[in-house]
Every structure is written in structure tokens, then in C-alpha cells.
Amino acid sequence: MWFDGFMKRHRDIRLRKPENLSAARAMGMNEVVVKSWVDHYLNVKDLATEDKPERFWNCDEMRVQHQFDQGLTIEQVGQPSFRITAGEKGQTTTVLACFNAAGEFSSPMVIFKAKRIKTEWCVGSPPGR
């Protein structure tokens, strides 16, 4: 009963499922490193998109890790939720999405950990890819 009452009194926190984040990646996510990257990105973006936006491409990676789930945590609303893990453990499937400043995009690339492609992995993918 105490926990339910606490959660009702504090509307700025919620139970959430945190993302796993290795200690090495967590060290690279500090304010100085991120600000330096953003400053560099803005300089490059201005040069690349000035007259040829179709030449400025970005690739976004999403990794899906098949890892043991440890449950929920209490976090502040609107803030990211991470759980620092000992290392990159578990099997990972990677999805890459590429697009440019002109709004064009390529088909997503899915990378599985395997020596041979299974036919069921290709269901729904573009023909010939």
C-alpha cells in the first residue's frame, strides 16, 4: 500500500523498463563528448547541405539484443532509462537505416549473427535483396 500511495503522490516518476547500456558506451555519453560531437556535426551539416543535400547521408543503427530481462525501474518522466551492464552480452541483431538530407532513403539492412540466411528472415523484405 505504501508504494502505491508513493507513486500517486509523485506523478513525475513511473515504472519503466530500462535499456541495457554497456559501461564503455555509458562513459562516452557525457555532456562534453556529446556537445563536441554536435558542434562538429553542425559545421559539417552546414557545408554538406548548402547546395547538394543529396550527398549528405546518415546511417542510424538499431541493435536488438536477446538478453535476460531484469524487470522495471522507477524513473523520472521524460528522461531516458538505462541499465549499465557488464558488457555487450547476448546475441545481437542489427538494423541499419540510411537516408540523406534530400529525403531519399535506402532499404534497411538487417544483420543477423549466422553463417547462412534462413528463408523466414527474408519474409516481407524487398524482392531481390
Q: What pLDDT shows up at residue 30?
A: 81
- What are the residues whose beta carbons fall under 8 Å from the beta carbon of 38, sequence distance 6 or more? none
Q: What is the pTM of this model?
A: 0.43
* Domain extents in the chain: 2-113
Q: What's the burial of 93, exposed, middle or buried (CB within 10 Å: 0-12/13-18/19+)?
A: middle
Per-residue pLDDT of the chain (129 residues; tens, 9 = 90+): 999 999 999 989 888 888 777 888 888 778 888 899 889 888 877 766 667 788 888 888 887 766 556 677 777 888 877 776 655 556 778 889 999 888 898 888 888 888 888 888 778 877 765
Residue 9: the pLDDT is: 93
